[in-house]
């Protein structure tokens, strides 16, 4: 055992053989993972671009993304040469990371857009309520929101109106908006509106009650967010602490920390630390996340 630990060549061979066997035994899962995070992610990215109304040539975008991901993965493989196993891991991580970062960025943009839609919904419902009370139709009340209340919700309502001008039914256009903006408040608005249009209920009174309900819901969400902010910050600090300590030791004495990156056992320990940190981060975030 001591001979294996003291002999770096044997350690590299054992490390490489272990990694090769794990890849071989989990080949189907790995291939499915890469497919989902490249071609599957590509479809998600294109769908998000359509939702965000980004006017970008999709074929050119896909081509440029493939080129960037391949170049970065090759660069990572070259920089870690001659460590083939590490190079393959880093190259694969960079290849998938390009697609993941683009998707994550677009998801954040879309999430912020949906949050703005919900935050503007209370004022929009008030305008629609007053419009219904003075005798305007639902389509005309939506048009008043578009003209007098610019914002994310105005863009969604404007898209609904444009579809109705092209001949689509208003109820179907609203249902498509609810399917695109996946928020409980929007689903409640659309479902209630469509039901009342069929049964002949009082839309003005319903919009008023709905605006008060959504306002109280938003107050509760803000209160929960303020109460859980400390736990989220603690999770961020605890998760980043190992990497900060590695950086500090690297600045103070590189020889002290270099075995962690050059020795197979050190690399194995580093991988284990990363996995445990990720598990801890997601566990703590899950605990402090409360859905209303």
Has residue 207 got a pLDDT over 60? yes
pLDDT of residue 1: 46
Report yes or no: 190 and 121 within 8 Å, Cβ to Cβ: no
Digit-coded pLDDT (tens) for 4-25: 444 555 655 665 666 666 666 6
Alpha-carbon distance of 183 to 140, in angstroms, equals 24
Alpha-carbon distance of 244 to 246, in angstroms, equals 5
Closest CA to 189 of 135, 117, 109, 107: 117
Looking at the chain, the whole-number percentage of residues with pLDDT higher than 70 is 81
Q: Of 24-28, 99-103, 121-125, 201-205, which gets the smallest average pLDDT?
A: 24-28
As a whole number, the mean pLDDT across the chain is: 78
Q: What is the pTM of this model?
A: 0.69
CA 22 to chain centre: 29
Q: State the DSSP H helix or E strand holding residue 281, giving kind and residue range, or none if neither.
A: helix 264-288
pLDDT of residue 4: 46
pLDDT of residue 5: 45
Digit-coded pLDDT (tens) for 20-77: 666 666 656 666 655 555 556 777 788 888 787 777 777 777 777 778 877 877 777 7
- Three-class SS state of 135: coil
DSSP secondary structure string, 163-224? HHHTT--HHHHHHHHHHHS--HHHHHHHHHHHHHHHHT--HHHHHHHHHHHHHHHHHHHHHH
Closest CA to 230 of 279, 288, 290, 278: 288
């Amino acid at each position: 055992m001591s001979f294996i630990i003291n002999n770096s060549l044997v350690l590299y061979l054992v490390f490489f053989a272990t990694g090769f066997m794990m890849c071989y035994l989990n080949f189907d899962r790995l291939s499915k993972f890469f497919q989902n995070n490249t071609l599957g992610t590509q479809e998600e990215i294109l769908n998000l671009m359509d939702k965000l109304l980004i006017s970008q040539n999709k074929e050119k975008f896909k081509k440029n993304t493939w080129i960037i991901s391949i170049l970065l993965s090759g660069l990572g493989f070259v920089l870690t040469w001659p460590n083939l196993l590490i190079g393959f891991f880093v190259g694969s991580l960079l290849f998938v990371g390009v697609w993941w970062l683009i998707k994550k960025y677009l998801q954040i943009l879309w999430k912020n857009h949906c949050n703005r839609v919900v935050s503007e919904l209370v004022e929009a419902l008030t305008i629609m309520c007053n419009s219904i009370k003075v005798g305007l139709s639902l389509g005309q009340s939506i048009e008043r929101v578009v003209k007098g209340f610019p914002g994310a919700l105005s863009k969604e309502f404007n898209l609904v109106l444009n579809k109705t001008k092209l001949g689509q039914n208003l109820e179907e256009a609203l249902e498509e908006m609810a399917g695109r903006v996946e928020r409980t408040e929007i689903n409640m608005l659309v479902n209630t509106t469509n039901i009342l249009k069929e049964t002949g209920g009082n839309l003005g009174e319903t919009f008023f009650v709905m605006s008060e309900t959504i306002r109280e819901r938003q107050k509760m969400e803000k209160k929960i967010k303020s109460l859980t902010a400390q736990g989220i910050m603690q999770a961020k600090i605890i998760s980043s602490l190992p990497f900060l300590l590695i950086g500090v030791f690297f600045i103070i004495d590189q020889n002290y920390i270099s075995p962690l990156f050059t020795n197979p056992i050190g690399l194995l320990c580093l991988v284990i630390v990363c996995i445990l940190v990720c598990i801890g981060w997601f566990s703590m975030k899950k605990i402090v996340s409360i859905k209303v």
